[in-house]
Amino acid sequence: MTETWDALAGLVGAGDVVVLSGAGLSTESGIPDYRGPSGVARRHTPMTYQAFTRDPDARRRYWARSHLGWRTIAWAAPNAGHRAVARLQRAGLVTDVITQNVDGLHTAAGSGAVVELHGRLDEVVCLDCGNLTSREELDRRLREANPGFDGHVAAVNPDGDVELPDEAVTGFRTVDCGICGTGMLKPDVVFFGETVPAARVADCFSRVERARALLVLGSSLTVMSGRRFVIRAAKLGIPVAIANQGPTRGDDYAALTVDAPLGRLLPALADRLGAGPAGDATSGAVPAGVAPAAR
Ligand SMILES: [Zn+2]
């Protein structure tokens, strides 16, 4: 346990670290990770780009569910893990943050140089004119179009989607682009069945290639969208450290793996490396719950 902790501190303490984060980092902000150990199973198929753009009923269901789910995401605040990443960045140890999360919590915690691989849920794009508008503005328009629409949200997914019975969705009115007047609106996030823009991927590759180490936080690396950066780093001999609750599909490429709650691990790491100020003070010792993952 101590050995893994020392190795992690050594790796991050050497600096030039690029962080790749996933849903597991945001669970302590109240956004469940449906793939992680604390997650809820996804009960419906995730919305695909194809269904969203071609099927008006699917689009209505999506917006009705997302309209409710958005409130959870909008109210979520960064947790001790996000804040520790920002501290490590201010201390000059972490250079860049690449995140698979669409919740904007790294930026809210004070991190800079954040690449949001899958976009941001708080922005809305028009698929016709390409204009970006704020989700807040859309939220206001959807409330106006659907007075009295409300529902009990049992579970929200990391992409802001919630479980909602079909009958609750009937009659929900979607709205079109307020700028061109007719364009279809979509949250500016990468849907299933959609690819991350090539320039964004290339940007991430070049950040990873310049790194001394890649630190994966809270991602099971299930999808190639994130795993490819781990594979690239390993191929180039850049050490990869993975901190996640549970095994990941990148473990075979990792120099070290740590199974720990990130809200405890990361502040302890920042304290140990003297990355102040310590907003979430710890002793800098091996935090409770830190155990080397089975290899
Ligand atoms: Zn438009």
Residue-wise pLDDT tens digits, 207-227: 999 999 999 999 999 988 999
Most confident of 72-81, 144-153, 231-240, 279-288: 231-240
Cβ distance 59 to 241 under 8 Å?
A: no
Q: What is the pLDDT of residue 152?
A: 58
The share of the chain scoring above pLDDT 90, in percent, equals 69
Residue 83 bridge partners (DSSP): none
Residue 185: pLDDT over 90: yes
Please tell me the predicted confidence (pLDDT) of residue 74.
Answer: 85
**10 Å Cβ neighbour count for 50?**
13
Selection from 178, 179, 183, 146 nearest residue 66 by Cα = 146
Cα 58 to averaged position of ligand 1 atoms, centre (Å): 20
- pLDDT classification of 151: cutoffs 50, 70, 90: low
As given in the structure block, the two tokens for residue 174 are 């979607």
Average pLDDT of the chain, as a whole number: 88
Compute the distance from residue 138 Cα to the ligand 1 centre, in Å.
13
Residue 52 to residue 99: CA distance in whole angstroms: 24
> Given the structure tokens 């120099």, which residue do they identify?
255
Pairwise pLDDT comparison (42 vs 271), residue with the higher score:
271
User: Measuring CA to CA, which residue among 159, 118, 102, 114 is closest to residue 19?
Assistant: 114
The amino acid occupying position 125 is V
Distance of CA 124 from the midpoint of ligand 1 (Å): 10
Q: How buried is 295 (Cβ within 10 angstroms: 0-12 exposed, 13-18 middle, 19+ buried)?
A: exposed
Distance 135 CA to ligand 1 centre (A): 14
Span 14-32, pLDDT tens digits: 999 999 999 999 999 988 7
Active site residues: 118
Residue 281: pLDDT band by 50, 70, 90 thresholds? low
β-pair type (291-292, 256-259): antiparallel
